[in-house]
Amino acid sequence: MSADAEATGSAPLTVCIDFKNPHAWLAVPPTLALAQTLGIAVDWLPRIVAPIERPTPPGPDDDRGTLHRRYRAEYAVRDIGRYAAVHGLTLRGLHRRPDTRLASLGLLWVRRGGPEAAQRYMTALFTGHFEEALELEDPAALRAVVEACGGDGAAFEAYTAGEGPTELDALQATLAERGVFTVPTYLVGGERFVGRAHLPLIREMLEQQAPGAH
């Protein structure tokens, strides 16, 4: 089944992520904990979005709107730091702007090997990126991660030069049609939830969908 077909919601829990986005990374630990509790696999899909907003330096002519945007961006950075500490995650370079297309292609390729391979790949890329130990645009580095997750590195390179970009573009179009414009976005059946704050409700929905649920 193609990635864009699976994005229509055939998996019990689908999560859309972008490897440069710290909010997506912060959503991974509680999402995996929920999946383990319920005994389900998570289907991770790449959704390429804009970088988070960088706080602007103060200026003598700042108006109310400029101040509001700066305070909001500064608060977001502090909030990310608080949650990163809770989960024991390192998050550096929050406002870097790498092109995540190649990393996204890697996720599409590796997930063909099953949810465990996709989870290993995703965790390796998020960890490497936010610890500033891996460049998301480095083909050699991504091939090494693919191979570490059990994938065929040469086949992955052929995929990125062949049908991969078309598949990725089709997936992005499908997710846009479903209203997925930021990450993390959760897809549960026909419902869409933005942000990890919805995990308690998502848990209730998944429990109700489980075999034998009343």
| Average pLDDT score over the chain | 90
pLDDT per residue as tens digits for the range 30-46: 999 999 999 999 999 99
DSSP state letters, 87-118: HT-----TT-----HHHHHHHHHHGGG-HHHH
- For residue 57, the 8-state DSSP code is P
Task: Domain 3-53+98-209: give its CATH architecture.
Answer: 3-Layer(aba) Sandwich (3.40)
Residue with tokens 């091939």: 143
pTM of the predicted model as reported, rounded to 2 decimal places: 0.89
Domain boundaries, the chain: 3-53+98-209
Please give the pLDDT value at position 213. Answer: 56
Residue range 145-162: average pLDDT? 97
Query: Cα(150)–Cα(152) distance, rounded to whole angstroms?
Result: 7
Report d(CA 158, CA 85) in Å as an integer: 39
Question: Tens digit of pLDDT for each residue in 158-167?
Answer: 999 999 999 9
Q: What is the pLDDT of residue 65?
A: 79
- Band of the pLDDT at 56, cuts 50, 70, 90? confident
Rounded mean pLDDT of 69-83? 81
Separation CA 17–CA 28 (nearest Å): 9
The pairing of beta strand 43-46 with beta strand 14-17: parallel
Encoded amino acid at 157, one letter? E
**Of 47-51, 60-64, 128-132, which range is least confident?**
60-64
